[in-house]
Amino acid sequence: MNTHENLFPKLGKEALLTFCVSLVLVGPISGLVLEGFTFRNELVHAVLIAAVITAGRLVLSAVMVTPFGRRISGVLSRSGGGVTVRSGKERSSLPLLAVLFLAGLALPFVADKYFLGIAILALIYCLLGLGLNIVVGLAGLLDLGFVAFYAVGAYLLALGSQYLGLGFWSALIIAPFLAGLFGMVLAFPVLKMHGDYLAIVTLGFGEIIRLVLNNWLAFTGGPNGAPVPPPTLFGFEFTRTARQGGTPIHEALGIPYNADYKFWFIYLVLFLVVCAVIYAVQRLRVMPLGRMWEALREDEIACRSLGVNHVFTKLSAFMLGASTGGLAGVFFAVHQGFVNPTSFTFFESALILAIVVLGGLGSTVGVVLAALVLTILPELLRDFAEYRVFVFGVLMVVMMIWKPRGLVRVTRPAFFPSKSAEPTSSPVPSANAEVSR
Amino acid sequence: MTAPLLEVNNVTMRFGGIVANRNVNFCVEKGKITALIGPNGAGKTTMFNCITGFYRASEGNILLHGEDGTQDIGGLITRPITGGSHLATRAGIARTFQNIRLFREMSVVENLLVAQHRQTANNLLSGVFSTPTYRRAEREAVDRAYYWLERMHLAGDANRLAGELPYGRQRRLEIARAMCTSPKLICLDEPAAGLNPAETRELSEVLQILRADHDLTVLVIEHDMGLVMRISNHIVVLDHGEVISDGTPEHVANDPAVIAAYLGVSEEEVQ
C-alpha cells in the first residue's frame, strides 16, 4: 500500500515540526524561570514538555490512520447542514426528561453546599443562555450587551428592597417586566439596524448600564454595591433568627437550623423557573411567534413580503430575551446577597454569548448543556484558574473548526395534516386533478 | 373590460439621479393574468418593488381596489410607526422573488406556516399553554399548508428542509408560500427563470388553475415569451423605465415599438 510506505517519512516530518513549534511556544514560558532581577535557565524542562507534546501528536496521527481513527474523524467532521427535520416517529424523550427533572429536584438532598452553589450558578447561566438564545439563536439579532438586562434584574431586587421594600418574590415577578421594558427601550430605536451595527449598539448599551450603576453613587451605591435581602418563603425566613419581622423557617417547621436551607430554597425555585423557561422556549419553537423569529433570521425581506411586521417581531424577541435575563439577575442577586457593578462587565456578555454559540444557535438542549459545561468546568479546573479564559478560547476555536453549528444539532419539528383533512385534502372540489403527474 | 384590481398612476421612481421608472401607467384587471415584460434593466423589478410596497414611488400612486375599499400602497408603507411593506401584503398583495427567498433552514411546512401568521393564534400565553383555540388554529394552518403543498405537487417534501429541495420545487414552494397569505393579487418575479421546459409548462398550468379556481389576479414578470404569450390576458411592455406598449398579447407581439426594443432595430427596418 502506497500510504504505508509514505507514512514514516511523513510522521517524521510532522514530529519535527510539532517539536519545533512547541519548543518555540513553551521555551520562553517554562524554560526561563524568573528569580528576582535575573532568570534561571531550565531549558531541559522545556525540551521535555515539547517532547511530550510531540509524542502525543505522533500517537494521535498514528491512531488517525487506523480504520477506527478514520471513523472518529469522520464523525467529527460530519457537521453537514447542521439542521434536520424530525420524522415525527422519534421516541418520546419524556421518560428521560422526567428522570432528569426528579434528579434535579433531589440534588439539594445529596449535594454539599459548595456543589449546590455551583449548581445554582450553572442554572443562572442556563437561564441567561436561554434568554440570549431567543435573541441571537432564534431571532438572529447579535446582542453583545445582554448583561445589561441581567444587571437590571439584580439591581431591581437590591435597590427595590432598599427604596420600595420589595422582597424576593415581588422582584421575581416584576423583574421580567422591567427587564423587558428596558429591552424595548433599547430595541425600538435600533431595530432598523442589521448585524454588526446592532451588535455595536447593544455593546454600548451594556456598558451604559454598567457605567450608570458604577457612577450614580447616590442611588445605586456605585462601586460599593448594594446589599440584597435574604429570600423568604410565605414570610418565613431562612436565617437563624428572624431579621425581617417573620419567623425563621426551622422554628416554624420544628427542625434544627441549617445554614444550607437558604441555598436549598434558591436552588429549588431556580430549578423550577429554569424548567418553566425551557418548556416555554421549546413551545415557542413550534409556535407562530417563534417561527416568525426564525423566519426573520433566515430572510427578513421574505418575511416582510409575507406580511410579518419585522419591527414588532424583533421587538418581541428582544423583550422576551431581556425578561429571561432579568429573571436570572434576581436569582444572582439573592444568591450572592450583594450586588455591585463588577459582576456585569462585558466579559459576562461574552461568556453568555459563548454559551449560546457553543451550544448551537437555536438549540435549547445545546444551550443548557453548554451552560452547565462552561460553569462547572472552571470549578473543576480551579487549579488552572489563570488559564480559564485561555481554555475558553481554545474551546471556541476547536468548536468552530469541528462543530461550527454547535454541540447539538438543531432539529425542526415535523407537521402532519390532521386526520379529518387527509382523505380529501382540498376544501375546493378538485376538478384539476389532471395536473398531477 | 372588468374593473381593475390594481391601478398604477403616473408612477416615477428615482434613485438619486437615476430614473428607474418614468410616468408609468397601467392597470391590472381583476381575475386576469397580466404580464410585465421588457428587456433587462427596463425597470420591471423596480416597478414590482413599488407595487409590493418595498419601495415608495417618488411620484404618482398605486391603488389597490379591494373589497374593503381602495388602498394606496405608498400611503401604507409610509404610515408612521406601524407602516411598512408588510402592510401591502396584508392588503392582499403577495409576491415571489427573482432570486428565490425561502427560509432555507426551516422545513417546507414551516415556510407555509410562517406565511399564515395572520390566521394562527399568535398570543404567547395561548401557545405556551396550548389552549384549544390555539390548537384548532394551528391544525387549520397545517391543513391549509398541506392543501397548498398538494396543489403544487410538493406534499411528499412537506417535512424536508426548504433549502435542500431541487430548484424547480423551490420555485413552486415560493408560490405556495405566497398563496398561503390568501392574496387577491400575486406578483411573480420571473417564476420560470431556471426551469426546464416541462417545469415551465407545469408552471403555466398552475398559474391558470390559480386564476380560475381561486379567484386570483396574477401579475408576472417573465422573459420566457412562449410562456407569456400562452398564459397572459394582458401585457405591459417596459423599456428604459417607460411603458412602450400595453394591450393584448396579439397587439403587443405586433407592436413595432416592442419589436424595436427587443431586437434593437429601427422602426423603418421592421416595416
Show me where the domains of chain B are located. Answer: 1-92+184-271, 101-182
Overall fold of domain B1-92+184-271: Rossmann fold (3.40.50)
Answer yes or no: do A6 and A108 share one domain. Answer: no
Which residues are within 8 A (CB) of A168 and not within 5 positions of it... i.e. 6 or more apart? A157, A229, A231, A232, A330, A334
Reported as a single tens digit per residue, the pLDDT across A3-29 is 556 777 888 888 888 888 888 887 777
Residue A246's pLDDT band, with cuts at 50, 70 and 90, is low
Residue A74's pLDDT band, with cuts at 50, 70 and 90, is low
CB-based contact A283 B122, cutoff 8 Å: no
In this structure, whether the domain defined by B101-182 belongs to CATH 3.40.50.1980 is answered with: no
In B30-92, DSSP assigns E strands to 33-37, 59-66, 69-72
Greatest extent of chain A over all pairs of C-alpha atoms, in Å? 94
Residue A30's pLDDT band, with cuts at 50, 70 and 90, is confident
Option in B102, B122, B209 nearest A432 (CB) = B209
Residue A181's pLDDT band, with cuts at 50, 70 and 90, is very high
Identify the pLDDT of residue B144. Answer: 87
Average pLDDT over residues A207-231: 84
Greatest extent of chain B over all pairs of C-alpha atoms, in Å? 74
Is position A141 within any domain? yes
Residue A431 reports pLDDT greater than 70: no
Answer yes or no: do A252 and A283 share one domain. Answer: yes
Answer yes or no: do A189 and A257 share one domain. Answer: yes
Range of the domain at A131: 94-407
Is position A339 within any domain? yes
Å between B39 CA and nearest CA of chain A? 25
Same fold, B1-92+184-271 and B101-182: yes
Of the candidates B31, B47, B26, B158, the one whose C-alpha atom is nearest the C-alpha of residue B98 is B47
Reported as a single tens digit per residue, the pLDDT across A360-382 is 777 888 888 888 888 887 777 77
Residue B169 reports pLDDT greater than 70: yes
Give the residue from chain A lying closest to B198, CA to CA.
Answer: A437
The partner residues of B218 in beta bridges, in order of sequence, read B33, B186
Answer yes or no: do A68 and A143 share one domain. Answer: no
Residue A323's pLDDT band, with cuts at 50, 70 and 90, is very high
Q: Mean pLDDT across chain A, nearest whole number?
A: 80
Identify the pLDDT of residue A77. Answer: 57
Residue A91 reports pLDDT greater than 50: yes
End-to-end C-alpha distance for chain A, whole angstroms: 52
Which residues are within 8 A (CB) of B118 and not within 5 positions of it... i.e. 6 or more apart? A307, B90, B181, B182
Answer yes or no: do A215 and A118 share one domain. Answer: yes
Identify the pLDDT of residue A426. Answer: 39
**Domains contained in chain A, number:** 2
Identify the pLDDT of residue A435. Answer: 31
Residue of A380 and A207 predicted with greater confidence? A207
Is position A303 within any domain? yes
| ipTM given for this complex | 0.86
Identify the pLDDT of residue B258. Answer: 84
Residue A248 reports pLDDT greater than 80: no
Identify the pLDDT of residue A124. Answer: 92
Provide the percentage of residues in chain A whose pLDDT is more than 70: 86
Residue A190 reports pLDDT greater than 90: no
Answer yes or no: do A200 and A103 share one domain. Answer: yes
Q: In this complex, is the C-beta atom of B201 within 8 Å of any C-beta atom belonging to chain A?
A: no
Least-confidence region, from A407-421, A423-437, B156-170: A423-437
Answer yes or no: do A295 and A210 share one domain. Answer: yes
Partner A, chain B 151-190, Cβ-Cβ below 8 Å: 151, 153, 155, 158-161, 163-164, 177-178, 180-181
Give the residue from chain B lying closest to A304, CA to CA.
Answer: B86
Task: Assign residue A191 the CATH number of its domain.
Answer: 1.10.3470
Q: In this complex, is the C-beta atom of B205 within 8 Å of any C-beta atom belonging to chain A?
A: yes
Residue B54 reports pLDDT greater than 60: yes
Å between B226 CA and nearest CA of chain A? 20
Answer yes or no: do A161 and A22 share one domain. Answer: no
Residue A338 reports pLDDT greater than 60: yes
Average pLDDT over residues A185-202: 79
CB-based contact B106 A310, cutoff 8 Å: no
Residue A428 reports pLDDT greater than 80: no
Residue B271 reports pLDDT greater than 70: no
Reported as a single tens digit per residue, the pLDDT across B84-125 is 778 888 888 888 988 889 888 888 988 998 888 877 767 777
CB-based contact B206 A415, cutoff 8 Å: no
Residue B190 reports pLDDT greater than 80: yes
Residue A405 reports pLDDT greater than 90: no
Answer yes or no: do A289 and A394 share one domain. Answer: yes
Partner A, chain B 85-124, Cβ-Cβ below 8 Å: 85-87, 89-90, 94-95, 97, 101-107, 109-111, 113-115, 117-118, 120-122, 124
Q: In this complex, is the C-beta atom of B11 within 8 Å of any C-beta atom belonging to chain A?
A: no
Q: Are A396 and A358 in contact (CB under 8 A)?
A: yes
CB-based contact A292 B114, cutoff 8 Å: yes
Answer yes or no: do A67 and A173 share one domain. Answer: no
Main-chain phi, psi angles of A312, to 5 degrees: -70, -35
Which residue, of A44, A76, A108, is where some domain finishes? A76
Option in A83, A306, A432 nearest B161 (CB) = A83
Q: Is B23 helix (H, G, I), strand (E, B) or coil?
A: strand
Identify the pLDDT of residue A36. Answer: 77
CA angle B112, B117, B118 (to 5 degrees): 125
Residues from chain B contacting residue A88 (CB–CB below 8 Å): 159
Question: Between chain A and chain B, how many beta carbons pairs sit less than 8 Å apart?
Answer: 165
Q: Would you state the cell numbers that stand for residue A261, as one nine-digit string?
A: 436551607
Q: Mean pLDDT across chain B, nearest whole number?
A: 85
Q: In this complex, is the C-beta atom of B45 within 8 Å of any C-beta atom belonging to chain A?
A: no
Q: Are A133 and A369 in contact (CB under 8 A)?
A: no
Give the span between the Cα atoms of A280 and A301, in whole angstroms.
Answer: 28
Q: Are A150 and A326 in contact (CB under 8 A)?
A: yes
Least-confidence region, from A251-260, A298-307, A410-419, B3-12: A251-260
- Supply the Cα-derived Rg of chain B in whole angstroms: 20
CB-based contact B143 A416, cutoff 8 Å: no
Residues from chain B contacting residue A277 (CB–CB below 8 Å): none
Candidates A79, A277, A287, A296: best to mutate against B (most CBs of B within 10 A) is A287
Cα–chain-centroid distance for residue A140? Answer: 15
Provide the percentage of residues in chain A whose pLDDT is more than 90: 11
CB-based contact A288 B122, cutoff 8 Å: yes
Identify the pLDDT of residue B266. Answer: 55
Reported as a single tens digit per residue, the pLDDT across B242-268 is 888 888 888 888 888 888 887 776 555
Q: How far is CA B23 from CA A201, A352, B56, B240, in A?
A: 41, 54, 14, 11
Option in A85, A418, A437 nearest B153 (CB) = A437
Least-confidence region, from A218-222, B33-37, B50-54, B110-114: A218-222
Identify the pLDDT of residue A223. Answer: 82
Answer yes or no: do A123 and A69 share one domain. Answer: no
